[in-house]
Chains A and B, each alone.
Chain A
Amino acid sequence: MKHSIRILSSLLLLIAFSLIARADEAYITNQGENTVSVLSLSDHRIIATIAVGKSPVGVATSAALGRVYISNVDSQSVSVIDADKYEVINTINIAGSPVGIALSPDSQTLYVADWNDNRVLAIDTADPSQRREVSIGKAPAGITVSPDGSKLYVANRDSNDLAIIDTQSLQVLQRVATGEHPFGITLGPDGRQILAVNVYANSLSVIDLETLQTRTIPVGEHPYCVAVSPDSRYAYVTNTQADTVSVIDLEQNKETTRISVGGFPEGINYDAATNKIYVANWFDNSVSVIDASSHKHIQDISTGKQSRAFGQFILNKTSH
């Protein structure tokens, strides 16, 4: 009996170790060197650097497919990365300027915002030649999909609004006014609100998806992107021209603190597994790590030239 317990406990240890070995990863696009840095979130080391297309910007990750999609704005393409081998296995051509990129929750559809031709493409991930498109406002930038996959949200940067699109019919259902020049967007984890960052207005629009009522919260200089804590309590906004992250209390509707990070912070994601926030710094070629419980900037990790990481760049490898 004792013997079998010992075997069982060593088995459990083995299982635990294999879980630890599959850490979450961040896929950071480096616009200035046409690569993606893969950052392990367990030990904060760069475990791979992958050559992609020209001027990579956007990222969408799929745990189900084990793939990561990268938008390359200057080569008019999307690189498809195999996240086990850390190599590009396919390149999808996109006429125009692909920037914002997002996946449906079932990973069957890849949405790509082409901000030169004012449209969003819906591409079948199993057969990228199958694609539909929807014309939209001016310069579609940040995009994201509702948790049930039924709606697509698009920030129309040069129309100063957010479009809500039915994914079945690809019809625009609604356009909700934001502040001036909305760029990065994210859905609150509870699915009740969508947040859009207004670059020229130095503010964050928080849109209630039931009532479509909007609140506007001032942030720092020239903000780009936003992430929300898993409990939907805090939003974190990158202020590109202040080298800071604004921490917004979404219950109090105000900024409660500002955290100094690297130079020209752009993409930002919250990793629920480690309760850390990751920020890509375009000027400093690095990722800043913030501890979400203390709101302290704890580390900088060197990546590649001109890191952007626009979108959902964390691949969850631990929950499988």
Chain B
Amino acid sequence: MKKILALLAIGLLPLTAAAHGPSPQKVEKTVVIDASPDKVWALVKDFGNMQKWHPAVESTKLDKRTVDGTEETVRLLTLKGGGTILENLKSIDEDRKQLKYGIIEGALPVSDYYSTITVKEAEGGKTEVKWMGRFYRVYKLNPPIPPGQDDKSALDAINGVYDAGLANLKKVAEGK
């Protein structure tokens, strides 16, 4: 994660081969945690406290705002090492133990980002957490694609966010 933020800061990201109009990218990661689903779900669904389990998040500010007459819940993540991400809550499904949210704007090199985090029971009293994301790269027009705005930059960033987040969620939930 630190590496990604550093790369972002200096704009040192590779150009890829020419590709027209972007396709949606997907990242899917799972982790098995030796803790109860309820305990893990309590951490995941706490939309205003992501700093409790994600190592890249310094602080979380929960807020409400009205867009086109509809009120929505948002959070402003302040990242360690600077930068912010503004996210909106899509839904919290208690029955399925699933959180859905999107990114309005922020430090990550992605656009149209949408994500689900699903908590479910695994064997032996353990818990499986699945984090899925769908997003596009930043640059949506014809090549040349500016550095840091290509598919690889977007994928690398989100892979980093999920790997670091799930590894630390496991640590926190297992009390290690």
Contacts and interface: CB of A to CB of B under 8 A. Distances in A.
Nearest to B90: A241
Nearest to A32: B26
Interface of B: 19-21, 23-24, 26, 28, 90-91, 100, 102, 114, 116, 132, 134, 141-142
Interface of A: 31-32, 55, 57, 73-74, 76, 96-97, 99, 115-116, 221-222, 241-242, 263-264, 282-283, 305-306
Main secondary structure of the interface of B (DSSP, over half): strand
Contacts of A283: 26, 28, 116, 132, 134
Given A221-B90, A282-B134, A116 B100 contact: no
16 contacts: A31-B23, A73-B20, A74-B23, A96-B21, A97-B20, A99-B21, A115-B21, A116-B20, A116-B21, A263-B132, A283-B26, A283-B28, A283-B116, A305-B26, A306-B24, A306-B26
Contacts of A221: 90-91
Contacts of A96: 20-21
Nearest to A202: B70
Contact of B91 (A31, A99, A242, A282): A242
Contacts of A31: 23-24
Q: Chain A's interface: helix, strand, loop or mixed, by majority?
A: loop
Given A96-B21, A222-B114, A263-B116, 4 more contacts: A31-B24, A116-B142, A283-B26, A283-B134
Contacts of B100: 241
A283 B20 CA distance: 23
Contacts of A242: 91
A82 B12 CA distance: 46
Given A116-B142, A241-B100, A73 B116 contact: no
A123 to B, nearest CB: 18
State the 9 A-B residue pairs at the shortest beta-carbon distance, nearest first: A97-B21, A116-B21, A97-B20, A55-B23, A116-B20, A283-B132, A74-B19, A73-B23, A74-B23
Contacts of A97: 20-21
Contacts of A115: 21
Nearest to B68: A201
Contacts of B20: 73-74, 76, 96-97, 116
A305 B25 CA distance: 11
A283 B28 CA distance: 9
A264 B21 contact: no
Contacts of A116: 20-21, 141-142
Most buried by B among A55, A74, A96, A283: A283
A1 B159 CA distance: 75
A73 B151 CA distance: 14
Contacts of A76: 20
Nearest to B19: A74
A264 B134 contact: yes
A261 to B, nearest CB: 13
A263 B28 CA distance: 12
A108 B20 CA distance: 28
